[in-house]
Structure 1
């Protein structure tokens, strides 16, 4: 890999999918489907895929079952895995913060931290059944996340 070349990269269109790794697929499905209300689009032995918004997919992988390459009719998907707890954030609107606080409490999901960012946005942090750290983030947060 050449680092430091003065060649401008092609544009990235955004993050299409993000992944979290879990030990208990059924507990994860109950949480992501029944508590967070995400529609499962794919169910397999090693992964579930959820609709997380327009052109956004949350992949829930069965930890320890994704390290090997997988041959598909279209090509080989390289193996991957992680250890420890992951993190990702869902975008919410500012006017939904209180509704989310109440909704999570109703489902016995504890908000473990609430952060008001220097830009003025607010994040609610909580855990999924496997201990992954999830965030509900209301703008403004990052310079590219204003509304």
Structure 2
């Protein structure tokens, strides 16, 4: 069945994305301090959430997110992941140049900086937990006309 044939609704975008980390203080220094994302919510020993445009970046201590919270006010199921994840932030070509300069000035290592076959540029680095963080031009995923 194609998307056009669906009768059920189709998701309208990603509201939140989760990454699993091993040090919340280092995570906050990276995402809030280096990337400039505002902290939305944090619970020591469990998580820090950041705003990235209209999306929330959830960072959890994986082992803490796998344990049910006794008496929790909300019925959020346990979850968690093993190993490094990936998150990509959208940026214009000019912003990518500024990100490269900023990240290098902050002592961050750019693992890759290249143009995809469709001409979109991406840069990659690692957060303190080893997650792959990408900044890419929006045209990376544009549908050809």
The aligned counterpart of 2:123 is 124
User: Matched residue of 1:84: which SS?
Assistant: coil
CA pair 104-7 structure 1, distance change in 2 beyond 3 A: closer
The aligned counterpart of 2:49 is 49
Q: Specify every segment of 5 or more residues in structure 2 that has no aligned partner in the other structure, as ranges.
A: none
Alignment of 1:5-84 (within 5 A): 7-45=6-44, 46-53=46-53, 55-70=54-69, 72-73=72-73, 75-84=74-83
Q: Deviations over 1:65-86 (max 9, x none)?
A: 101334543x410100000000
Q: Specify every segment of 5 or more residues in structure 1 that has no aligned partner in the other structure, as ranges.
A: none
User: Matched residue of 2:140: which SS?
Assistant: coil
Equivalenced residue count is: 140
CA pair 23-8 structure 1, distance change in 2 beyond 3 A: same
Is contact 1:127-1:133 (8 Å) kept? yes
Higher fraction of helix: 2
Larger relative contact order (C-alpha < 8 A, sep ≥ 6)? Answer: 2
Moved over 6 A (4+): none
The RMSD of aligned alpha carbons is 2.1
* Cα distance in 2, alignment partners of residues 112 and 104 from structure 1: 11
Higher fraction of strand: 1
What's the offset of the Cα at 1:122? 0.5
Q: TM-score, normalised by structure 1?
A: 0.87
